[in-house]
């Protein structure tokens, strides 16, 4: 199924982040069946506060036309947070496929009320990537959670 094919690419991005010492969250942006951009969480690697996987992926896509954003699907290994959800609303990306929504939560109702379709693949692989990361990097993860709670 195509959703799993593209989620597998998002998972590759998450693993790339992990290899860099970062949080294993990845994303890919699809337009008309093709990957047009990839990204991963850069909070640790770039000491960033805004480059979550979804944001990094959108940034790497460069400037698209408005009509192109509306043809896109964002695949992300973890549910979009408030910030990434706001970005999705700003650019009017109509469909988000997430790997899971257990490790973190996001404004799912708000997105849906504003016309964003959400599909949750609820993948054990995505949940395990995060639980393993958290277990092995408790100090950094707790600092990161402290920043947003």
Query: Could you say which of 7, 27, 28, 58 contacts a second copy (CB under 8 A)?
Result: 58
d(CA 149, CA 144): 9
Contact 56, 45 (CB under 8 A): no
d(CA 135, CA 137): 6
Based on the residue annotation, tell me whether 34 is a catalytic residue of this protein.
Answer: no
Which lies closer to a second copy via its Cβ, residue 86 or residue 128?
86
Instruction: Using the structure block, give the residue that is written with the tokens 């799912």.
Output: 108
Q: Does the footprint of a second copy cover residue 35 (CB under 8 A)? A: no
Contact 53, 67 (CB under 8 A): no
Q: Does the footprint of a second copy cover residue 116 (CB under 8 A)? A: no
Contact 52, 81 (CB under 8 A): yes
Q: Does the footprint of a second copy cover residue 125 (CB under 8 A)? A: no
Which lies closer to a second copy via its Cβ, residue 35 or residue 83?
83
> Among 2-10, 56-64, 93-101, 123-131, which window interacts with a second copy (CB under 8 A)?
56-64
Query: H helices then E strands: how many in the chain?
Result: 7, 5
Q: Does the footprint of a second copy cover residue 92 (CB under 8 A)? A: yes
Q: Under the rule (CB under 8 A), what is the footprint of a second copy? A: 47-51, 55, 58-59, 61-67, 69, 81-87, 89-92, 110, 143, 146-149
Active site residues: 54
């Amino acid at each position: 199924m195509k959703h799993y094919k593209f989620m597998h690419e998002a998972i590759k991005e998450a693993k790339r982040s992990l290899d860099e010492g970062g949080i294993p969250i990845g994303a890919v942006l699809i337009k008309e069946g093709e990957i047009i951009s990839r990204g991963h969480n850069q909070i640790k690697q770039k000491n960033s506060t805004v480059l979550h996987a979804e944001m990094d992926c959108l940034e790497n896509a460069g400037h698209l036309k408005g009509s192109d954003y509306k043809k896109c699907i964002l695949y992300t290994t973890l549910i979009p947070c408030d910030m990434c959800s706001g970005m999705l609303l700003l650019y009017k990306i109509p469909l988000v496929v997430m790997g899971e929504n257990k490790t973190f939560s996001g404004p799912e109702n708000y997105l849906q009320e504003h016309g964003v379709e959400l599909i949750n693949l609820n993948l054990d692989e995505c949940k395990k990537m995060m639980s393993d990361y958290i277990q092995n990097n408790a100090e950094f993860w707790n600092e990161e959670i402290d920043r947003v709670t």
